[in-house]
Amino acid sequence: MECSELASALRSLREGDLSVRLDDNDPAGQEYNRLVSQLAEMNGEIRRICNEIGVQGYFGGQAELPDLRGDWEALVKDVNLAGYNLTLQMRVIAKVAAAKAAGDMSMRITLPATGETQAAFDAINAIGSQPVPVA
């Protein structure tokens, strides 16, 4: 394989093009193709999870890429942890909001949170905690 061919393929990869493949008869080409296939599979799984949670509103999905190691494995674990945490938070919000809508004002969200998530938890917990003025 020519060095320029490998450089061109690497440039395409750096630019996000996962369609370029090299000659499988060359050891460097084989390794490059395995890397691109792995990245394409990882890209597909992470996009699937983002679509399920962020677009379709289905919670609980996890990326499944069993053969990853090192930083690739850590990245997928981080995506799965973020998805798990969001799933847990949304399910608790739904449970507490439904209870309050049914008149049970004693239900509260007790999950630890920070930032905007904590603000949302505080707002939901405040529902029904204020005395209603009698006219």
Q: How far is CA 7 from the centre of its chain?
A: 32
Is 22:5 a contact under the CB 8 Å cutoff?
Answer: yes
Reported as a single tens digit per residue, the pLDDT across 71-105 is 999 999 999 999 999 999 999 999 999 999 999 99
Reported as a single tens digit per residue, the pLDDT across 5-22 is 999 999 999 999 999 999
- Residue 97 CB burial class (10 angstroms; 0-12, 13-18, ≥19): middle
Residue carrying structure tokens 């707002």:
123
- Give the mean pLDDT of 43-50: 94
Specify the pLDDT at position 122.
95
Whether residue 31 is predicted with pLDDT greater than 90 in this model: the reply is: yes
The CA distance from 110 to 124, in Å, is 11
The CA distance from 55 to 73, in Å, is 25
Q: For residue 65, which of 40, 29, 87, 32 has the smallest C-alpha distance?
A: 40
pTM: 0.80
In this structure, what DSSP letter does residue 51 have?
I
Specify the pLDDT at position 67.
87
Whether residue 1 is predicted with pLDDT greater than 90 in this model: the reply is: no
